[in-house]
């Protein structure tokens, strides 16, 4: 059975400090022990700030808008000025 990442985390977090081992919690849910350890390690790295995240769609769209604005404000007037000065 394939669970979402959120469901995997819920299962794994139920283990520490509880009466069941992580492997014992994962087995009936169909989450492999290796997968649970990978998730725990990724979570630790993320909390420690050791992972880089890719840009979000919103961030990319913001950068594209900024680039277009800079083109309108700087590049096009500069090109016009160069063309006029060469005429």
Over residues 9-68, the pLDDT tens digits come to 666 666 556 666 767 767 777 777 777 778 778 777 777 776 667 778 888 888 888 888
Question: Which two tokens mark 18?
Answer: 């509880």
Report the candidate in 17, 60, 12 with the shortest Cα–Cα distance to residue 36: 12
Whether pLDDT at 2 is above 60: no
More confident residue, 2 or 7: 7
pTM over 0.75: no
Q: What is residue 49's three-state secondary structure?
A: coil
Q: What pLDDT was estimated at residue 15?
A: 59
Residues 30, 3, 14, 33, Cα dihedral to 10°:
40
Q: Rounded CA gap, 38 and 11, in Å?
A: 13
What CA–CA distances, in Å, run from 2 to 9, 27, 63? 13, 12, 36
Let me know: does 36 contact 43? Beta carbons within 8 Å. Answer: no
Q: What pLDDT was estimated at residue 13?
A: 67
- Residue 45 backbone dihedrals phi, psi, to 5 degrees: -65, -40
Whether pLDDT at 79 is above 70: yes
């Amino acid at each position: 059975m394939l669970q979402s990442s959120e469901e995997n985390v819920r299962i794994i977090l139920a283990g520490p400090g509880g009466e069941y081992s992580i492997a014992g919690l994962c087995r009936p849910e169909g989450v492999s022990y290796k997968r649970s350890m990978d998730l725990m390690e990724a979570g630790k790295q993320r909390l420690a700030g050791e992972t880089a995240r890719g840009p979000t769609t919103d961030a990319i769209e913001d950068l594209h808008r900024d680039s277009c604005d800079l083109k309108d404000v700087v590049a096009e007037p500069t090109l016009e000025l160069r063309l006029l000065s060469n005429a």
